Structure 1
Amino acid sequence: MTLTVGGRNYTREQGDFVLFIDGKGPYYASDAGFRVGGDNFRVVWDALRTGRSVQARTGDGKVVTFPLTGAAKVLPARTSKLFQCVTW
C-alpha cells in the first residue's frame, strides 16, 4: 500500500506512513510484501471497508484525514473474485 500527499509518495522504502482507522491503530499497511505485513494489510483492508474515517500520518509529520463513506462499494471484499491484491 502506498500513500501520496501533496504530490509526494510515501512507501515502506520512502518516508513510510501509518494509518488510524476510526481512531484505532497504528496500522502499518505499507509493508504488505512481508508475511506479517501481509497480515496487517488484510486487517487494514477490512477496516477501510467498514470504517468511518482514516487518518494517515507520514514519517515527516504530515497528517491527512479522509472519510470512508461508500468505501465498501469500491473496495471489494477479500473473499471476492474482484480482490486482486497480492500479499504474503
Structure 2
Amino acid sequence: MKKIVIMLLLFWIATRVFAFGESGQWSSGWGQGVSEYTVVTQSGDSLYIACSGDRPVSMTLKLKGKEYGSYSQQGFDLIINGTEVQTPYDTDSRVGSNNFTYAWGALRKATRLQAKTTDGQTVNLPVKGVAAALPAWGTPEFGCTTGLDF
C-alpha cells in the first residue's frame, strides 16, 4: 500500500510540473494534438501558447489568478524587447496574423518580455530557454496556424 501511495504522489507531482512548466524558464510539450509552450514566473503567473493544425493559435496569460487572452473577455499585449505587439493571439485578420508572425520571431530572440493587460496590469516574463522551447517558423516542428489558415 505504501508503494502505491508513493507512486501516486510521484505521478501527481510529475503531472503538476509538466502541466505548469518550470518556474523561471520556457518549456514545451505536446498532448492531444496540441503543441504547448509555457513560461511561468517565480510568483506563478504564466503565459501559455497552444498550437494545433486544426485550429488557430491561442494564448492565455494568467496573472494574479485572473485569465486573459484567447478565451477571456480581457485581452493582453506582449512587449518584446521594448516593442509592443497588440493581441498576438487574435489572428483572424491579416494584421493579426502578421502580429503573431512577428511576435513569434521576436520571442525567439527576446532579451526582455512583458505582458500588459487591458485592465492595466503589467508582468515581467522570463526569457530563459525561449529559443529552445519555441521552434523556428517554417521548420517541421512548427505547428502553429492562424485564423487566416481556415
Partner amino acid, structure 2, of 1:41: F
Partner amino acid, structure 2, of 1:66: L
Partner amino acid, structure 1, of 2:103: V
Aligned to 1:34: 93
Aligned to 2:27: none
TM-score relative to the length of structure 1: 0.87
Partner amino acid, structure 1, of 2:102: V
TM-score relative to the length of structure 2: 0.53
Q: Which of 54, 60, 73 in structure 2 is aligned with 1:2?
A: 60
Aligned equivalents of 2:93, 2:116: Cα separation in 1: 21
Q: Which of 25, 40, 43 in structure 1 is aligned with 2:102?
A: 43
Matches within 5 A, 1:1-88: 1-11=59-69, 14-24=73-83, 26-28=84-86, 29-87=88-146, 88=148
- Structure with bigger helix share is 2
Aligned residues: 87
Identity of aligned pairs, percent?
40
> 5+ unaligned residues in a row in structure 2: which ranges?
1-58
Q: Rg bigger for which structure?
A: 2
> 5+ unaligned residues in a row in structure 1: which ranges?
none
Q: More relative contact order in 1 or in 2 (CA 8 Å, sep 6+)? A: 1
Aligned equivalents of 1:10, 1:27: Cα separation in 2: 15
Stretches (4+) displaced over 4 A: none
RMSD, matched Cα: 1.5
Specify the SS of the correspondent of 2:98.
helix
